[in-house]
């Protein structure tokens, strides 16, 4: 009888041992989220669509010559599998260079929670194959370097920005207070062959919101991201990411006064018109009221032409501009399902149309991404029903 009792007691221990070892693997593989709907997309001027996402531990790139109706067979970017963050705010990205270069970035979870390395790969042969992935930062501590964003500036330089906890670690080690994480960036002026040692954009910014990057009319890259002011007021900062004359000066650009000692998981979006108008959308739940805001940034001062785009259940807005035409798309969740909504302005953001549903799903979706071609806007949307390019025009 004693033996039987003891054997019964042993079973949970064996299961527990297995569970413990499985835990680290699960976390590394999924990065805290199981969604694999996160994607990035880019449109060539000629009309070829590029889509990047994660399939298990592989980054895959597909293209379409019929505006997303059919996608090519995938080209695997990393033949050697590695863990990949592929959830909403932390998803693979793809941008195109001026000479047909295809640049891809993503964040790779490390073994410990909240950690990651920013990874990069390129194709110089039109996507036939990709170079072996590299880590873009020189700091290799097993800490947060993730939530990467990537852009190409007017001179073809590849700019990568990300959230980085090295300064938090240093402050904690010396018992100094530090809120959130820092934001860093690097750039390559040789088509992604090498990257400069990374530089800091700002200290004490948000740990879990994507960084918006956009080109300025003079060809620089500007960043717009959630930063921390005072006691966990999580508004946004705007900074030009200088590649000639650092240091970078980050200026506060939104003043919603949302206090949250937590992880919003709501990053902003930025698009700069040829006249220099900085169109932006951002999320705030100040006073308990979840709101997507539109405004035109005046770094250092409150934004102008602000508008409440949407309220409860709305999230993950993206924005694009061509001349005086401004498009805003976002997710509107209801009990029935998820709608992809559009609001647009044809007078440079002074007035916007009422919200209009342009697509819906009963399932889930990766965050929508606006793409422009010849002054027309399309929305890349990846739902549980599949990937599609949604028209913004009324037919």
Partner 1 sequence: MGSGITRTSASFASFVFSLRRDRARVLLFVAGVLFAHSAFAVTPLAADGVKALVAAPAKGERVIALWSLDCAYCEENLTALAKLQREHRDIDLVIVATDSIEQHEAIDARLKQAGLADVPSRAYADATPDRLNYLIDPAWGGETPRTLVIRADGTRQGYSGALDAKRLAKIAL
Residues at the interface with partner 1 (CB under 8 A): 2-3, 5-6, 9-10, 12-14, 17-23, 25-27, 30-35, 113-114, 207-208, 232, 259-266, 283, 285, 288-290, 312-313, 315, 331, 333-335, 337-338, 362-364, 384
**Torsion angles phi and psi, residue 313, rounded to 5:** 85, -5
Helix intervals (H) in 99-242 = 166-173
Is the Cβ of residue 154 or residue 337 nearer to partner 1 in the bound state?
Answer: 337
Length of the chain: 395
Whether cis (ω within 30° of 0) applies to the bond prior to 247 is yes
Q: For residues 112 and 351, which CB has a smaller minimum distance to partner 1 in the complex?
A: 112
Instruction: Please identify, using beta-carbon distances, which residue of 55 and 362 lies nearer to partner 1.
Output: 362
The least CB distance from residue 179 to partner 1, in Å, is 11
Nearer to partner 1, 197 or 288 (CB): 288
Least spacing, CB of residue 139 vs partner 1, in Å: 19
For residue 127, the Cα-to-chain-centroid distance in whole angstroms is 22
Closer CB to partner 1, residue 157 or residue 316? 316
**Contact of 67 with 389, CB cutoff 8 Å:** yes
Q: Between residues 232 and 296, which has the closer beta carbon with respect to partner 1?
A: 232
Q: Measured from the CB of residue 67, what is the shortest distance to partner 1 in angstroms?
A: 27
Distance, CA of 169 to CA of 173 (rounded, Å):
6
Bridge partners, residue 304, by sequence: 296
Give the shortest CB-27-to-partner 1 separation in angstroms: 5
Quote the least distance from Cβ 145 to partner 1, whole Å: 15
In terms of CB distance, is 144 or 220 closer to partner 1?
A: 144
**Which residues neighbour 395 within 8 Å (Cβ) at sequence distance 6 or greater?**
none
DSSP-assigned states of every residue in 82-109: -----BTTB--EEEE-TTS-EEEEEEEE
DSSP 68: T
d(C-alpha 77, C-alpha 140), whole Å: 22
Nearer to partner 1, 220 or 256 (CB): 256
With 0-12 / 13-18 / 19 or more C-beta atoms within 10 angstroms meaning exposed / middle / buried, residue 276 is: exposed
Least distance between partner 1 and beta carbon 166 (Å) = 15
Q: Tokens at residue 13, please? A: 């221990």
**Phi/psi at 146 (nearest 5 deg)?**
-155, -170
Phi, psi torsion values for 24, nearest 5 degrees: -60, -35
Contact (Cβ atoms closer than 8 angstroms) between residue 165 and residue 140: no
Closest CB 30 distance from partner 1, rounded Å:
7
For partner 1, the closer of residues 25 and 55 by Cβ is 25
Taking phi over 0 as left and psi of -120 to 50 as alpha, with beta for the rest, 127 belongs to left
């Amino acid at each position: 009888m004693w033996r039987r009792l003891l054997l019964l007691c042993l079973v949970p221990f064996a299961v527990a041992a297995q569970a413990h070892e499985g835990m680290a693997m699960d976390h590394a593989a999924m990065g805290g989220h199981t969604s694999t709907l996160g994607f990035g997309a880019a449109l060539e001027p000629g009309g070829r669509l590029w889509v990047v996402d994660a399939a298990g531990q592989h980054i895959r790139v597909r293209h379409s010559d019929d505006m997303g109706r059919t996608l090519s067979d995938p080209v695997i970017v990393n033949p050697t599998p590695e863990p990949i963050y592929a959830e909403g705010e932390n998803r693979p990205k793809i941008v195109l260079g001026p000479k047909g270069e295809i640049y891809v970035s993503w964040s790779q979870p490390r073994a410990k929670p909240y950690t990651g390395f920013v990874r990069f790969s390129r194709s110089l042969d039109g996507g036939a194959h990709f170079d072996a992935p590299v880590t873009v930062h020189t700091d290799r501590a097993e800490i947060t370097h993730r939530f990467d964003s990537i852009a190409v500036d007017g001179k073809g330089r590849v700019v990568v920005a990300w959230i980085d906890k090295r300064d938090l670690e240093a402050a904690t080690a010396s018992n100094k207070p530090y809120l959130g994480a820092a934001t860093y960036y690097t750039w390559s002026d040789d088509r992604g062959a090498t990257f400069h040692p990374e530089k800091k954009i700002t200290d004490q910014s948000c740990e879990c919101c994507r960084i918006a990057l956009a080109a300025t009319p003079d060809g620089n890259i500007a960043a717009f991201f959630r930063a921390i002011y005072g006691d966990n007021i999580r508004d946004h900062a705007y900074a030009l990411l200088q590649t000639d004359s650092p240091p970078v000066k980050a200026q506060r650009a939104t003043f919603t006064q949302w206090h949250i000692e937590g992880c919003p998981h709501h990053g902003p979006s930025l698009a700069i018109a040829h006249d220099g108008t900085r169109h932006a959308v951002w999320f705030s739940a100040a006073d308990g009221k979840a709101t997507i805001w539109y405004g035109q940034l005046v770094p250092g001062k409150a934004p102008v032409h602000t508008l409440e785009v949407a309220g409860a259940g709305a999230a993950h807005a993206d924005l694009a501009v061509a001349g005086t035409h401004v498009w805003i798309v976002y997710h509107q969740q209801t009990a029935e399902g998820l709608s992809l909504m559009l609001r647009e302005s044809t007078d440079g953001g002074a007035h916007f149309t009422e919200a209009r549903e342009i697509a819906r799903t009963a399932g889930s979706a990766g965050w929508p991404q606006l793409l422009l071609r010849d002054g027309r806007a399309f929305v890349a949307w990846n739902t549980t029903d599949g990937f599609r390019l949604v028209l913004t025009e009324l037919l």
